[in-house]
A and B are shown apart, each in its own frame.
Chain A
Amino acid sequence: MMKKCILFLSCIAFIFAIPVQGKCEALKKEDISYNLGVFGNINYKTKDRDTQHHSFSLGELDLYGTANYERMSFLTELLIEFEGQAIELDMERIWIGYSFSDLFTLRAGRHHTSLGYWNRTYHHGKQLFVTVERPFVIAFEGEGGIIPAHIVGLEAEGRVSVGAINLKYELQVGNGPTITSDGKLDPNNSSDDNPSKEWVARLSGTSPVLPGFTFGLSGTSFKITQADNTIINEKVAGLDVSYIRGELDLLGEVFRFKNSDKEARLGYVQAAYNISKYSVTPYVRHERMDVEDGDPYLDALGGRKDRTQDIAGARYDINERSSLKAQYRRDKEKSSDTKNVFEVQWAFAF
């Protein structure tokens, strides 16, 4: 209780510090530069798989801070969420890093895994999303996701130009995830529950010849120890492509999950077009997950069925710090009712 109080008070202090320091993009003081920011969102949606009635909801309050000193950098991202009557505090990211060169930056701490494009581009900042939520196929662990979205350990990152191609690599090693008794992935923040470590890698490229175009290949390998001590050896391979230039915003990611018995395929494609004259961005997205019955990894996560989701909506930018989004979502799961959901979000970033 005391710990929660202290954490909560720290958050309040953090929030109140923002108007004082957050106005400037970077404040320089004795060669240390700081940056503080907040993302937040308020939502309304009709009933869906998780809610019984149409409801308003307080979204996440995402507080982040960075500091830089010489070649060192530090980042923390703290999320305040509302779960029923309770307030939940989640340290989503916290790392310290040292840049040796453009080719090699080393970081230690808790990171978002470099699986695909979305997870490391938007993090928890909903004002950065065109849509209301991230695709269900790459949902976070606590929201029933099957992708290990966080890792505690080391990360190496670097960039190199090869001819007309700018390559970026991201390599992570850390505690592999576990599956909790309520069937959710957990990144094992304080200790690993088996001796093997999770590896994650992504190689992505851009080119001035094709401005706005990015391609990426990523993958991970990890072991899950089940309650009966049997081990699931899971491998994930991903391909992502994006084209973001001018008014057009195109994204696509596919992943293949494979263990010794079964495999699952999932992915999404998203298209958005900004009509700058009206500050409006209409968008569409198609998401899909195909699974095999009896997959031990998905069964340990409470089971998954084939599912598709189609979204059509529009985002209105009130200004560069805030947006209103309204969308229709058709959520279709095998052997289950199709859900037609209408949702609205007011997102902001300061």
Chain B
Amino acid sequence: MKILFAALFCILSLNSFVFAEEILIIVNNNGPLVNISDEDIKKVYKGEKRFEAGVKIIPVELDSVKEQFLSSFIGTTSKDYRVHWTKKVFQDGIQPPATMPSIDDVVELVKMENGAIGYVGRKGFKDESNIKIIKTIK
């Protein structure tokens, strides 16, 4: 029985190891966010920082790694993050970051908009032209 539990524990540990993907935070290469600090990135995703060097910041999120990004970088759960944004919308009338379904959507927007910032999983991210990776989250 003990061996069975140990085996199950190993499988679950292996699962979490396999599914924890490296996350890259990306910005437009020509935009003002290339030197943004970690603290300011957190403020952006919480709606507390909306401009950099006079440019409006457009944060976007990738659905498939959102949970991991929130827990490992922002330090919150998706539930608390939703509650935070319910309050923020109600208080300040601003919109939460748009959540994109695919890496291509995030990359396309970051390329197009000078003030865009997004995150993607390392796997499947190929097109780096006009994009700067400003942080890698392991």
Contacts from A to B (Cβ < 8 Å): 25-26, 28, 33, 35, 37, 64, 66, 68, 70-71, 73-75, 77, 95, 97, 99, 101-102, 120-121, 123, 125, 128, 159, 166, 208, 320, 349
Q: Once the chains bind, are A99 and B51 in contact (CB under 8 Å)?
A: yes
Q: A71-B56, A101-B54, A320-B83 are in contact. Are A66 and B91 (CB under 8 A)?
A: no
Q: A349 contacts B86, CB within 8 Å?
A: yes
Q: Flag whether B90 is at the interface (Cβ < 8 A).
A: yes
List chain A residues, Cβ under 8 A from B95: 25-26, 33, 35, 66, 68
Instruction: Check B39–A97 contact: CB distance below 8 A.
Output: no
In contact, A28 and B83 (Cβ under 8 angstroms): no
Beyond A68-B93, A68-B95, A75-B93, whether A37 also contacts B50 by CB under 8 A is no
- Cα distance A78–B109 in the bound complex, in angstroms: 35
Which residue of B51, B90, B94 has the most chain A CB atoms within 10 A of its CB atom? B90
A208 to B43, CA, bound (A): 11
Whether the pair A123, B56 counts as a contact (CB closer than 8 A) is no
Chain B interface, number of residues (Cβ within 8 angstroms): 23
Contact of B50 among A66, A77, A102, A120 (CB under 8 A): A102
- A320's partner among B39, B50, B51, B79 (CB-CB below 8 A) is B79
A73–B96 Cα distance when bound, in Å, is: 13
By a CB distance below 8 angstroms, the chain B residues around A121 are 87, 91
By a beta-carbon cutoff of 8 Å, the part of chain B in contact with chain A is 39, 48-51, 54, 56, 79, 82-83, 85-87, 89-96, 98-99
Residues of A within 8 A of B98 (CB): 26, 28, 33
A73 to B85, CA, bound (A): 16
Residue among A26, A74, A120 with max Cβ neighbours from chain B (10 Å): A26
Closest residue of chain A to B96 (Cβ to Cβ) is A25
User: Which residues on the A side are within 8 Å of B89 (C-beta)?
Assistant: 25, 35, 37, 66
Residue pair B94, A68 in contact (C-beta under 8 Å)? yes
Total contacts A-B at CB 8 Å: 62
Which chain B residues lie closer than 8 Å to A128 at the CB level? 86-87, 90
Which among B83, B86, B87 has the greatest number of chain A C-beta atoms within 10 A?
A: B86
Query: 18 A-B Cβ contacts within 8 A?
Result: A25-B82, A25-B89, A26-B98, A33-B98, A35-B95, A37-B89, A37-B90, A66-B93, A66-B94, A68-B93, A68-B94, A77-B90, A99-B51, A120-B91, A121-B87, A121-B91, A125-B90, A159-B48
Residues of A within 8 A of B85 (CB): 25
Contact of A74 among B82, B93, B99 (CB under 8 A): B93
- CA separation between A35 and B39, bound complex, in Å? 27
Write the chain A residue with the least CB distance to B56.
A71
Tell me how far the C-beta of B66 lies from the nearest C-beta in chain A, rounded to whole angstroms.
12
A123 touching B91 in the complex, CB below 8 Å, given contacts A102-B51, A320-B82: yes
Q: Contacts A320-B79, A349-B86; is A102 near B49 (CB within 8 Å)?
A: yes
**Of A28, A68, A101, A120, which is within 8 A of B51 by CB?**
A101
Provide the bound-state CA to CA distance between A102 and B56, in Å. Answer: 9
Q: Which residues of A contact B49 (CB under 8 A)?
A: 102, 159
- B13 to chain A minimum Cβ distance, whole angstroms, is 23
A26-B98, A99-B50 given; name 14 further pairs at CB < 8 Å: A28-B98, A37-B86, A64-B90, A68-B93, A68-B94, A68-B95, A73-B94, A95-B93, A99-B51, A102-B49, A120-B91, A121-B91, A125-B87, A128-B87
Please report the C-alpha to C-alpha distance between residue A68 and residue B94 in the assembled complex, in whole angstroms: 7
Q: Are A73 and B91 in contact (CB under 8 A)?
A: no
The 8 Å CB contact of B93, one of A28, A73, A101, A349, is A73
Min distance, Cβ B90 to any Cβ of chain A, angstroms? 6
A64 — nearest CB in chain B belongs to which residue? B90
- Bound-state CA distance A133–B79 (Å) is 24
Chain B residue at minimum C-beta to C-beta distance from A124: B90
Chain A positions within 8 Å of B48 at CB level: 159, 166
**What residues of B have a CB within 8 angstroms of the CB of A97 in the complex?**
93
Kindly list chain A residues whose C-beta atoms are within 8 Å of the C-beta of B54.
101
Chain A contacts for B90, CB-based, 8 A = 37, 64, 77, 123, 125, 128
Q: Output the nearest chain A residue to B53 by Cβ-Cβ distance.
A: A101
A99 to B55, CA, bound (A): 11
Which chain A residues lie closer than 8 Å to B82 at the CB level?
25, 320
Q: Within the complex, what minimum Cβ distance (angstroms) separates A276 from chain B?
A: 10
